[in-house]
Amino acid sequence: MTLSVLAGPAPATGTEGYAAHVARLGPLPLSTSALIDTIDRSELRGKGGAGFPAATKWRAVASRRAGNPVVLANGGEGEPLSRKDRTLMEQRPHLVIDGALLAAGAVGAREIVLYVGADHTGAIRAMQRAAGERPPRERDLLHVVSAPVRYVSGEETAAVNFVNTGIALPTSIPPRPYERGVDGRPTLVQNVETLAHAALIARSGDAWFRSLGVGTASGTTLISVGGAVPQTMLIEAPQGTTITDAVNAAGGLTADSDAVLLGGYFGSWVAASTAWGLVIDADGLRANGYSLGCGVIAVLPAGRCGVVETARILAYLAHESARQCGPCTFGLRAISAATGRVAALTSSDGDLDHIKRWSGLLAGRGACRHPDGAAGLLGSALRVFAEEFQRHDQQHRCSATIAQSVAS
Amino acid sequence: MSGRYVVAVDRIKCDGHGVCADLLPEMIELDDWGYPIILPGAVPPSVLPHARRAVSGCPTLALRLQALAARR
């Protein structure tokens, strides 16, 4: 397995300290605006879920450097099926901090917020300790902020809002954070894994990063693999390899499977026969209507019901809605309730028809992408589990033989 | 010069009063929960007066006309 951000001492040895980090990788390279061109050529994408090109974000903030920019390293990681960010911060905090410092140098920021989910206690400790180990001129730029435990806390406007007001709820866009973010200043919000990759690209160059990928794909990416594998596992996969490769790297299948959840709770169900051959590459996946989101593959073991799993995820997402926008507050709640009835074999006339119609009514109708994520998941479930939805709704029968959850 | 506009809604401000759908039925309908579903695309010039009335009539000031050129 190609290792890049997870290279170095074995996970069992715990957090890599500053001295070991510098001994292994050398000192922090100088950061100039030329670094943005290097990042651009590396084809590094944001690893928080949206997959936006990192260099484009950096340029947008750098062009506003007169506004005294801020860098917000996003380690909120609210996705229940993901553990990559907390693990990375716990094991390689200095790589994340390097990336944040380099980004700050490139965009002209003199302040860095390290935003870490409050439940990721190991990561918070590691980041705080790591910040304290840095030389004073670096340490003085760094502020560790613990983010409320909530699905939407990691959404970029919610992260900015929390730093500004103590409320971790999304705000309406415009303005986007790069226009007006922390303290009203241009703010680069970048996922911690993205920053860790940037720290290595700054040292080894864009050609090196591209060479880590297979075929035309560039670099590596962290993936949490769960479900029908020996245990939920974090792997670092070369882009351009397949879902099958990732599952094998996590120990291989422990059961037959008919469906795979790609991209986590905002992702989509994919028929297993299709999923195995899919190539891990943002553009290729997007062309097929898929995304790995924040790097999640969850394999649904045969015998578990996709309708039940979907209902459980929708109930979670409805509960986690910020309840600021009507379509998400009421629409998602109604969808979740109806899907719950179908899953529990207690649906009444029209429930499934309502679900199908409503599933098309959520996208693009919130301040953030929460309703879009839920709608995407539901739409994929209606396609992949079409027969099972019918069986539940019409015959009040479930074909599951195991009553357990893929995400538990 | 009137320019081309789209109707945009601030989803957080919107409380689902539904006034917009009454004043601008050409472009806005309400979903099952009373929140606006806006027809995509530019507001036809003939409908612009209704759109302006809907914007000024929104009780929560959630509706606005966004100039298309200004977004580039």
Partnered with residue A261 across adjacent β-strands are A269, A298
Q: Does A296 contact chain B (CB < 8 Å)?
A: no
Cβ distance B37 to A325 less than 8 Å, yes or no, reads no
SS3 call for A234? strand
**Rounded average pLDDT over A115-144:** 98
Q: Which residue of A has its CA nearest to B17?
A: A326
Q: What are phi and psi of B31, to 5 degrees?
A: -80, -175
Q: List CB contacts (< 8 A) between A157 and chain B.
A: none
Over residues A11-27, the pLDDT tens digits come to: 999 999 999 999 999 99
How many C-beta atoms surround the C-beta of residue A184 within 10 A?
14
Q: Which two tokens stand for residue A318?
A: 């409805």
Cβ distance B15 to A326 less than 8 Å, yes or no, reads yes
pLDDT band at A185 (very low <50, low <70, confident <90, very high): very high
Residue A1 has pLDDT above 90, yes or no: no
Contact A131, A113 (CB under 8 A): no
Instruction: Enumerate residues 6+ apart whose C-beta is below 8 A from B41.
Output: B6
Residue A133 has pLDDT above 70, yes or no: yes
SS3 call for A271? strand
Cβ distance B31 to A325 less than 8 Å, yes or no, reads no
Residues 361-380 of chain A with CB under 8 A from chain B are: 361, 365-367
Residue A178 has pLDDT above 80, yes or no: yes
Measure A383 CA to nearest chain B CA, in Å: 23
Over residues A262-308, the pLDDT tens digits come to: 999 999 999 999 999 999 998 889 999 999 999 999 999 999 999 99
Over residues A218-266, the pLDDT tens digits come to: 999 999 999 999 999 999 999 999 999 999 999 999 999 999 999 999 9
Cβ distance B11 to A367 less than 8 Å, yes or no, reads yes
Over residues A332-344, the pLDDT tens digits come to: 999 999 999 999 9
Over residues A35-71, the pLDDT tens digits come to: 999 999 999 999 999 899 999 999 999 999 999 999 9
Q: List CB contacts (< 8 A) between A171 and chain B.
A: 12
Q: Which two tokens stand for residue A232?
A: 């939920």
What's the N-to-C CA distance of chain A in angstroms?
27
Measure B67 CA to nearest chain A CA, in Å: 14
Q: List CB contacts (< 8 A) between B16 and chain A.
A: 326
Over residues B28-71, the pLDDT tens digits come to: 999 999 999 999 999 999 999 999 999 999 999 999 999 987 54
Q: Which amino acid is at A248?
A: N
Q: List CB contacts (< 8 A) between B6 and chain A.
A: none
- Residue-averaged pLDDT of chain A: 95
Measure A185 CA to nearest chain B CA, in Å: 21
How confident is the model at residue A408, as a pLDDT? Answer: 38
Could you write out the DSSP letters of every residue in A144-210? EEEEPSSGGGGSHHHHHHHHHHS------SSSPTTTS-GGGS-EEEEEHHHHHHHHHHHHH-HHHHH
Q: Does B10 contact chain A (CB < 8 Å)?
A: yes
